[in-house]
Chain A
Amino acid sequence: MRLGALVLVPILGAVAAYFDAPARRSRWLVGAALLHLAMVAWAWGSPPATSAIGWLRFEPLGGLVLTLVSVVFVAVAFYAVGYLRREDPRGGRAFVSALLAFLASASMVSLTHHFGLLWVGMEATTLTTAPLIYDPRDRHSLDAVWKYLLVCSVGIAIALLGTFFLATAQLAATRGGGAALVLEDLVAEAPRFHPVWLRAAFVLLLVGFGTKMGLAPMHTWLPDAHGEAPSPISALLSGALLNLAFLAILRALQVVNASAHPEFARTLLIGFGLLSVAVAAVFLLGQLKYKRMLAYSSVEQVGILALGAGLSGTAAWGALFLMWCGSLAKAALFMSTGSIFIRYGSKRTAEVSGVGRVLPLTAVLLAVGLFAVSGSPPFGTFLGEIALLSGAIRTGRLGVAVAVLALQAAIFASMAAAIFGMVLGRPAAEVVSERGPEDRWLTLPPLVLLAGAALLGSYLPPALRGAFDAAARAIGGAAP
């Protein structure tokens, strides 16, 4: 019941926001987001019973993703209130309703333990975010929406075929006893699955959901969508949506892990992960637009996540922890670029300079955020990186660890050059002339997210730590 409510509350909020007066829309948005977060916290306090209707179940792995999505969503909701005041997208009511509908589909993806519903939820996240990316004043954004819809829909279609293959494997193994596609049954029956079906199913699911996650070489939509979308949406896409797709891949990994030969899946994940990091490093070199730069940094981030899941052991723990801290930091970075875009009116890195003088707090957020996503010591990303790299070395993959470190150094160098070029320097005269105080709605949410990422790096509450350990064990990893 309470699990069903997690999906229903955002839907009701979406409907209410659609029909209510424009002035009260943002209240519905923030209210539903806060209520959702409170309910997630309650679910951690006393885990609700598995709901038979809709195959919903609360367990640490999905719970961690759901909590992250909910936290990022609350920050985005507050930020969107400030953003909508300045840059009202056409059709404001569809904007708020689509945001809340996304939250509902995200809850379904992270709570369901049925592969069919997982697929339905993932497709719903694509459809609810597509209208959000569209920005009527920017012609490029229409191209971006089209590319996003088409590439992700094809990816999702491939994932559906993978789901069907999984069902075939289950049907064949149970001799027509039915293919319920429930995660626990699949894990129990995985040793009896025909290896060809299982392998084909995993490859299709990895490629399909990997498209949604932004793994190279299926990442082509990501820089466009994240780069052209309004900033609160970019923050939501990178902070929440990618992790949902990662969760879907982890669910498939859970099934394969239970089978007799899980090695091929891990090798595939490592391969896609390394490729994504390498592609990000190359494309960051000549990047002219600052939001596209952050988008490629997201490609790197999902590459690291896939790599960690593939390495298993403590690296899997590191990947889950990086998913949390990296997403918080990345969402904060996208939010601060939103303030810059509002003031400078340009998405080109070269046309922005002197942010430190015009928007001092935003400049600090940008610089600190850079260190947070790159895994510097005060932040949780540092702990995650250490766990991941030590996991790689412990499993005898020293080469992988060295390659990742070298690529990440290159990525940091390109991003630092761009960001410090924006922060320092002399601002153009017309930007200075409209000097005004920074909007708290736009600076506080990223500040809180970055503070969270820093806090996780220095103090991890035992309960949360336990949840991470349990989730890592669920995907074949180990607590460090």
Chain B
Amino acid sequence: MVLLSCFAVLGTDRLSACIRIMAAQGVLLGLLPIWIAPGISAHIVLIVAGTLVIKAVVLPRVLLWAIRESAVRRELEPVIGYGASVLVGLAATAIAFALATRLPAMPDPTLPLLVPVSLAVLMIGLIVLTTRRKALSQVIGYLMLENGIFLYGLTLANGMPLLVEMGVLLDVFVGVFIMGLVVFQISRELETLDSRRFAEPRD
């Protein structure tokens, strides 16, 4: 499911659709720990709540706000086309699965698919990041990259102290927030530039 949502991002050209897909991915990621964890503890509840709030609610809102402010609707000029990028994504998935079988055994083999999927999501995030030119799509690629790492982190959920995980979430949140602000600034700069260009011939 998570992988499917990544391919959806690769294939679509509407930014707001991309953001909705990322929100859905956030919900999936947020619910995953419940499925994996042996029992419900305060630790798990906090992680689920934190992930859901940040990844599924706050971040998409920030991005949608940035879209509204900057009036960018479509990814107009990807370096490689949508069809081709889906193919590259498939190749990345294949590589991820091949890599995962080569890695030594995981200490906690509850969910064998988690490692290859996380690596694939990570690579697709990198692809989006490098092949799209619009700043906002790059942020989405970055978020996908983070989601991949988060998926990998789930394999360690029982070993990592809570404090660190909350710190990670917070950093991601602030990072994307600042990125959103910068996107806003960029578009505003462009606007003033454009208007200046319009004004010049009249002078």
CB-CB under 8 A from A117, the residues of chain B are 163-164, 167
Q: Decide if B179 is an interface residue (CB 8 Å cutoff).
A: yes
CB distance from A437 to the nearest CB of B (A): 37
B151-189 interface (Cβ within 8 A of A)? 152-153, 155-156, 158-161, 163-164, 167-168, 170-171, 174-175, 178-179, 182, 185-186, 189
| B106 A142 Cβ-Cβ under 8 A | no
Q: Decide if B108 is an interface residue (CB 8 Å cutoff).
A: yes
- B interface footprint on A135-170 (CB within 8 Å = 1, 0 otherwise): 000010010011001100110010011001001101
| A116 B182 Cβ-Cβ under 8 A | no
| A120 B164 Cβ-Cβ under 8 A | yes
CB-CB under 8 A from B179, the residues of chain A are 149-150, 153
**Complex Cα–Cα for A50 and B49 (A):** 32
CB-CB under 8 A from A470, the residues of chain B are none
| A176 B164 Cβ-Cβ under 8 A | no
CB-CB under 8 A from B142, the residues of chain A are 150, 153-154, 157
| B160 A131 Cβ-Cβ under 8 A | no
Q: Identify which of A134, A154, A168 contacts B156 (C-beta below 8 A).
A: A168
| A154 B129 Cβ-Cβ under 8 A | yes
CB distance from B190 to the nearest CB of A (A): 10
Interface centre among B145, B153, B164, B186 (most CB of A within 10 A): B164
| A145 B182 Cβ-Cβ under 8 A | yes
With CB as the reference atom, state the residue of chain B lying closest to A114: B164
A182-213 interface (Cβ within 8 A of B)? 194, 196-197, 200
Q: Identify which of A127, A146, A168, A175 contacts B106 (C-beta below 8 A).
A: A168
Known A116-B161, A142-B189, A178-B159; contact A196-B149, beta-carbon cutoff 8 A: no
| A149 B182 Cβ-Cβ under 8 A | yes
| A142 B186 Cβ-Cβ under 8 A | yes
**Complex Cα–Cα for A149 and B126 (A):** 15
CB distance from A447 to the nearest CB of B (A): 35
CB-CB under 8 A from A126, the residues of chain B are 175
Q: Identify which of B103, B126, B155, B189 contacts A139 (C-beta below 8 A).
A: B189
**Complex Cα–Cα for A126 and B178 (A):** 11
**Complex Cα–Cα for A153 and B173 (A):** 12
CB distance from B181 to the nearest CB of A (A): 9
What is the interface residue range for chain A against chain B? 35 or more
| A196 B164 Cβ-Cβ under 8 A | no
| A164 B107 Cβ-Cβ under 8 A | no
Q: Decide if B104 is an interface residue (CB 8 Å cutoff).
A: yes
CB-CB under 8 A from B182, the residues of chain A are 130, 134, 142, 145-146, 149
CB-CB under 8 A from B159, the residues of chain A are 167, 170-171, 176, 178-180
Q: Decide if A119 is an interface residue (CB 8 Å cutoff).
A: yes
**Complex Cα–Cα for A153 and B168 (A):** 12
Query: For the complex, would chain B's binding face be called helix, strand, loop or mixed by DSSP majority?
Result: helix
Q: Identify which of A127, A161, A164 contacts B175 (C-beta below 8 A).
A: A127
Q: Decide if B122 is an interface residue (CB 8 Å cutoff).
A: yes
Q: Identify which of B105, B145, B163, B175 contacts A149 (C-beta below 8 A).
A: B175
Known A123-B175, A127-B174, A131-B178; contact A164-B168, beta-carbon cutoff 8 A: no
CB-CB under 8 A from A119, the residues of chain B are 164, 168
CB-CB under 8 A from B156, the residues of chain A are 164, 167-168, 171, 179
With CB as the reference atom, state the residue of chain B lying closest to A182: B161
**Complex Cα–Cα for A142 and B190 (A):** 11
CB-CB under 8 A from A196, the residues of chain B are 103-104
**Complex Cα–Cα for A194 and B103 (A):** 10
| B167 A164 Cβ-Cβ under 8 A | no
Q: Decide if A124 is an interface residue (CB 8 Å cutoff).
A: yes
Q: Decide if A368 is an interface residue (CB 8 Å cutoff).
A: no
With CB as the reference atom, state the residue of chain B lying closest to A118: B164
Q: Decide if B138 is an interface residue (CB 8 Å cutoff).
A: yes
Q: Decide if B135 is an interface residue (CB 8 Å cutoff).
A: yes
**Complex Cα–Cα for A179 and B156 (A):** 8
**Complex Cα–Cα for A146 and B160 (A):** 32
**Complex Cα–Cα for A194 and B106 (A):** 11
Known A116-B160, A124-B171, A146-B135; contact A168-B107, beta-carbon cutoff 8 A: yes
**Complex Cα–Cα for A116 and B104 (A):** 23
**Complex Cα–Cα for A119 and B161 (A):** 14
CB distance from B99 to the nearest CB of A (A): 10
**Complex Cα–Cα for A76 and B33 (A):** 45
**Complex Cα–Cα for A198 and B164 (A):** 21
Q: Decide if A172 is an interface residue (CB 8 Å cutoff).
A: yes
CB distance from B194 to the nearest CB of A (A): 13
CB-CB under 8 A from A175, the residues of chain B are 107
**Complex Cα–Cα for A194 and B102 (A):** 13
| B149 A116 Cβ-Cβ under 8 A | no
CB-CB under 8 A from B145, the residues of chain A are 154, 157
With CB as the reference atom, state the residue of chain A lying closest to B102: A196
**Complex Cα–Cα for A120 and B171 (A):** 7
CB-CB under 8 A from A139, the residues of chain B are 189
Interface centre among B156, B158, B185, B186 (most CB of A within 10 A): B156
| A172 B135 Cβ-Cβ under 8 A | no
B101-126 interface (Cβ within 8 A of A)? 103-108, 122, 126
Q: Identify which of B160, B163, B186 contacts A167 (C-beta below 8 A).
A: B160
With CB as the reference atom, state the residue of chain A lying closest to B156: A167
CB distance from A471 to the nearest CB of B (A): 26
**Complex Cα–Cα for A103 and B87 (A):** 45
- B interface footprint on A353-373 (CB within 8 Å = 1, 0 otherwise): 000000000000000000000
CB-CB under 8 A from B105, the residues of chain A are 172
List 10 A–B pairs whose Cβ atoms lie within 8 Å, in order of A's numbering: A117-B167, A119-B168, A120-B171, A123-B175, A127-B171, A146-B135, A150-B129, A167-B156, A168-B106, A172-B107
8 further A-B pairs in the complex, CB-CB below 8 A; given A157-B149, A161-B152, A178-B159: A123-B175, A130-B178, A146-B182, A146-B186, A164-B153, A167-B160, A171-B159, A180-B159
Interface residues of B, Cβ cutoff 8 Å to A: 103-108, 122, 126, 129, 135, 138, 142, 145-146, 149, 152-153, 155-156, 158-161, 163-164, 167-168, 170-171, 174-175, 178-179, 182, 185-186, 189
